[in-house]
Amino acid sequence: MPRPASSVELFLPPGMRATRATRALVALLRSQAASRLSAAEVEAALARLGVAVNRVTVFRALDRLTQAGLLQRRVEDDRITRFQWRSDAGRAQASAAPAPVAQRMPVQFHCLRCAQDLPVDSAAPAVQASVQALGAALEQTAVGQLQTVQLHGLCTPCSVA
């Protein structure tokens, strides 16, 4: 008799094995959904939890989860790639049909002075049209599928200071 899938396994992309390390990695990222973690930080956190995992395994799992739309990948100003569990991960994965570009791709604004990340309202018609056009154009090139669009500049308080 097959065993029932755990809540963590329900988030795994098709074909990704539910190993102890993978389950621990997904549980860790889901429990720290508000945090952006580097691969090294994920590896260290798993070690603290008693889950010995190979660095290559961590990188591969993070890549697979990002490709499945469960994680958001971002190269930060310090040039370290960090991963964050997407708040809409369950909804995005449950949908069998591909979501429109603007819905599957959050748009963020990063202030270069105060380092604050601000969401951009993707519901605004001009923003939504621009994101859809950019996503469609890039999907036809070797770039593939966008996960996030991030704008850099100065937020309103920093620009008037």
pLDDT digits 0-9 by tens, 45-61: 999 999 988 899 899 88
Task: Give the predicted TM-score (pTM) of the model.
Answer: 0.56
Query: Within 13 Å and on the Cβ side, how many CA atoms surround 19?
Result: 13
pLDDT in tens, 130-150: 877 777 777 767 666 666 677
pLDDT at 123: 62
pLDDT in tens, 82-106: 998 887 655 444 443 444 443 445 6
